Amino acid sequence: MQTLNHLKRALGLGILALFCAATARAAPPLQIGFMPIIADSQAFVIADGLTAHNPLKGARMISFQNGPEIVQALLSGQLDVAYVGAGPAMVARAGGADVRFVAGNEYGPARVLALGNLAPFFKDATPAEAIAHFTQAQGRKPRITTFPIGSGPAAALRQWLRDQTGAGLDSVQIVYQGENQVVQSLLTGAVDGTVSPDPAIDIVMARQPSAKVVDLIPDQPGAGLLVRERLIKDDPDVVRALVVAQIEATDLLRNQPKKAAVAVQKYLGGGRLPMDIVLQSMSHLTYDPDPRRLERDTAKLYAFQNSMGVFKKPLTVSELFDPGFYDELKGAAK
């Protein structure tokens, strides 16, 4: 809260109002892309009007079920702004989308969930041993679901299999699908485990007590606030307003999570998730609007994804980021 108060005093309410006034002009509403996952919490807090300034008021909020859908929307020019993970953002940028991260959302380790039929094999065994023992006992490889190739969760799972555990990419059957399909396949037992963003894992654990988080995958990049370069050039005040609101939303998520969770709940699971699951999912993340942390972790992700042949064209990670707006605001707050 102290940082936010410094920001307000330094900039002055008049300047902040100028930043946000751009959104009130007679112009087409912003097209905002997001996914109904906990990583996009800032978008939900802002859109619900819980921040002092709301540049998303009047914007068109468009929900997507997976990263490739957002990538296609960015490549087609459908979106002005996206709250999106580093993986899809890199794919979009490498594909020619004129987009840049101007703020971060969050970061935290990816979690590996095993359902009741797989989880016991991890007791007193390394992950590679657990997978091998399951395969021998069941006569088949474990089926592990995650988001589509190019997404952060898919990269985390493949990194876990290849580098962290040494089990090998061919030791499991990977099922790539969208967020709703991930949850449904876990609840119906169509798969044996997952690496996926919250709230999927917490939803499953609440309904299936035998499901266990059996490992963590550290240093995973989270999501961030992605905007078109055209918006940066033509409407910098709009971008400043978005970053100001991002800082305010992050402050609320850090210091008043129960208040923020009221907004977050509306966008997850069709607004039907119990509040305790929402709060539990929020507790796994560290909310941070600084795009530089996201840039460092994105560079690591790019190196891994590139080694896996995900990108057909090379990408300079630094060109995906524009920290200038955040630095300007933080500098004014000192």
Contacts of residue 66, Cβ cutoff 8 Å, sequence gap at least 6: 35, 147, 148, 151, 177, 178, 179
Contact (Cβ atoms closer than 8 angstroms) between residue 40 and residue 281: no
Which pLDDT does position 331 carry in this prediction?
A: 77
Contacts of residue 260, Cβ cutoff 8 Å, sequence gap at least 6: 41, 45, 50, 249, 252, 253, 282
Which pLDDT does position 312 carry in this prediction?
A: 84
d(CA 220, CA 245): 24
- The tokens for 245 are 């609101």
Which pLDDT does position 5 carry in this prediction?
A: 56
Q: Tokens 């859109």 label which residue?
A: 47
Contact (Cβ atoms closer than 8 angstroms) between residue 89 and residue 100: no
Write down all domains in the chain, each with its CATH number in brackets. Answer: 31-107+222-332 (3.40.190.10), 110-217 (3.40.190.10)
Which pLDDT does position 15 carry in this prediction?
A: 46
Q: Rounded mean pLDDT of the chain?
A: 92
d(CA 306, CA 257): 37
Backbone angles phi, psi at 150, to 5 degrees: 105, -20
**Cis status of the peptide bond prior to 199, with omega within 30 of 0:** yes
pLDDT tens for the chain, residues 1 to 334: 555 555 555 554 444 545 445 444 446 799 999 999 999 999 999 999 999 999 999 999 999 988 889 999 999 999 999 999 999 999 999 999 999 999 999 999 999 999 999 999 999 999 999 999 999 999 999 999 999 998 999 999 999 999 999 999 999 999 999 888 999 999 999 999 999 999 999 999 999 999 999 999 998 899 999 999 999 999 999 999 999 999 999 999 999 999 999 999 999 988 999 999 999 999 999 999 999 999 999 999 999 999 999 888 889 999 999 999 999 998 766 6
